[in-house]
Amino acid sequence: MIVMDIVDRFIKYARMDTQSDENSTQTPSTQKQFILAKEVEKEALEMGLTDVSLDNNCYLMATLPANTKKEVPVIGFIAHFDTSPDMSGENVTPRIVKAYDGKDIVLNEAREVILSPADFPELLQHVGEDLIVTDGNTLLGADDKAGIAEIMSAMQYLIDHPEIEHGKIRIAFTPDEEIGRGADKFDVARFGAKWAYTMDGSEVGELEYENFNAASAKVAIRGRNVHPGYAKGKMINALHVAHELVAMLPEKERPEYTEGYEGFFHLIATNGTVDEAMISFIIRDHNRAKFEARKQLMAQVVDLLNKRYDNRLTLELRDQYYNMREKVEPVMHLIDYASRAMEAAGVKPNIKPIRGGTDGARLSFMGLPCPNIFAGGMNFHGRYEFLPIPSLRKASEVIVGIAGLVAKEA
């Protein structure tokens, strides 16, 4: 078998269209995710992994058997097949910019698409490095094909270097993470790891075990439409009621005003007419008590407007996921292993909260503590996405390092 370099592996994966579809009710949401899944399944078998299984829902699992007689905890590494629906993943054409010089990168001259440090100053942190970029027409797909490439290359490295002692390692690749369904049909018991890491972060060094508590809120509003010339005392304009609701929420607690641990109410959609309207929010907060208070405030606002407008509003409030911190804090050695593996690889750990969600959060509450490690890509979900090659290699090196540390200290 020809051993594939991690860069070639990533580029091969990136060229495959695996975009998920939030409007689909199937799992996977798009059958094209199986194209990449079957390719990775083939590679896993060729490199000698065992227990390789790809189910009908596009969940792929495999095992690297232990090479030690020690009692070592079974650990896992997880990434996802799909790319975001936010930008086309069809006909992705990656190219490598050699020894980036700190200047503008013309991604697409005809369309005047330029990746510039003036807009993306994080580029300047990678001067002198080789970067993988898009052609300006699609996303790149480093989220999370970089993670898949890093895990597969780490497994190959461990096979090729039997002198590195390690316990049993389980790997898994999932569909539909980008539409919030990656953990829906993940069989934690079958996976059989004591803990795992998702390789799904961004900038090199990121290590995350805190994320938002998350809920969605949809409010349906029934208006009362009459001829505007004779509307006084009769008309209830559903669109104006929707505007009232938005105005009653704290203006400075929106995404554009918040950072760090600050939560928010995010208006994501409005549509309707005078007669009826629908308004949708997502609600986020790292602090569970504040999260519950935000949901309560939303309910109180709807109640107040119902009193004002004769019960014409219906609120659908649904929890989506919770902060994994409460599940990881009791087992902080997971973070210690990852931090030390990064330091050994010459990477400074950057432990910070995720201002978003991750499959690892849901998996943590399903019994599999699962913090998140950098995959190395930047500007996910759009045409300005790029992947520094040294970051790609370092992430794979961290996986190898964690495996070795866990076995060494078993």
Residues marked active site are found at 82, 177
SS3 293: helix
> What is the crossing angle of helices 288-308 and 238-248, to 10°?
140
| Alpha carbon 84 to chain centroid, angstroms | 9
CA distances to 180, 305, 320 from 317, in Å: 16, 16, 10
Continuous H helices in 309-388: 325-328, 333-344, 359-365
> What distance in Å separates the CA atoms of residue 203 and residue 207, rounded to the nearest whole number?
10
Strands (E), 223-300: 264-272, 276-285
What DSSP state is assigned to residue 19?
Answer: B
- How many CB atoms within 10 Å of residue 194? 16
- Pair of tokens at residue 239: 């669109």
Question: 288, 365 in Cβ contact below 8 A?
Answer: no
> What distance in Å separates the CA atoms of residue 167 and residue 408, rounded to the nearest whole number?
9
Q: Scanning the structure block, which residue is given the tokens 């097949």?
A: 81
Q: Scanning the structure block, which residue is given the tokens 């998140």?
A: 372
Q: Scanning the structure block, which residue is given the tokens 């005003």?
A: 257
Residue 392 φ/ψ, nearest 5 degrees: -60, -45
